[in-house]
């Protein structure tokens, strides 16, 4: 039986990086996932200082537009999403967060599916004391 870390490592390793920066980020995430570091946020907003987050980009068919949000705590313009809960795989996080944040059910585009499309390591823009990595 696979551990949560092994499952997440497989998902991250299966992502085809788009450029050298994503290759670097993918390697950093895999190193982190394969370490003994905690993967889940235990205490909001920044403990542990690095934790897994799943974002999703709502797409409107009729207008061909995407939804981005101004994340009030991080100071960044981001797609909606949120922190992974214990045992969740990325698509499960997306499904839960879509309902919590937008009040609608997540529906994957048939040609994209439910697997993550990219991996990135992002520092938030809080104060130096409140910064963390997602």
The per-residue pLDDT string of the chain (134 residues; one tens digit each, 9 = 90 and over) reads 679 999 999 999 999 999 999 999 999 999 999 998 999 888 887 788 888 899 999 988 899 999 998 877 777 888 999 899 988 999 999 999 999 999 999 999 898 899 999 999 887 655 555 555 55
How far apart CA 59 and CA 134 sit, in angstroms, is: 23
The count of C-alpha atoms lying within 13 angstroms of the C-alpha of 43, restricted to the half-sphere facing its C-beta, is 4
pTM (two decimals): 0.84
Does residue 54 contact residue 98 with C-beta atoms inside 8 Å? no
* Coil/strand/helix, residue 97: helix
pLDDT attached to residue 47? 84
From CA 3, how far away is CA 24, in angstroms rounded?
Answer: 24
Distance CA 85, CA 53 (A): 9
């Amino acid at each position: 039986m696979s551990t949560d870390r092994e499952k997440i490592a497989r998902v991250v390793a299966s992502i085809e990086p788009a450029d050298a920066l994503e290759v670097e980020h993918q390697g950093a995430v895999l190193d982190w996932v394969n370490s003994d570091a905690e993967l889940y946020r235990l205490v909001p907003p920044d403990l542990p200082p690095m934790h897994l987050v799943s974002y999703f980009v709502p797409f409107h068919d009729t207008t061909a537009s995407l939804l981005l949000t101004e994340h009030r705590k991080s100071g960044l313009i981001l797609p909606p999403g949120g922190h992974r809960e214990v045992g969740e795989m990325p698509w499960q996080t997306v499904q839960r967060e879509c309902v919590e944040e937008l009040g609608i059910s997540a529906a994957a585009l048939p040609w994209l599916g439910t697997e993550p499309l990219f991996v990135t390591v992002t520092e938030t823009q809080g104060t130096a004391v409140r910064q963390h990595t997602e």
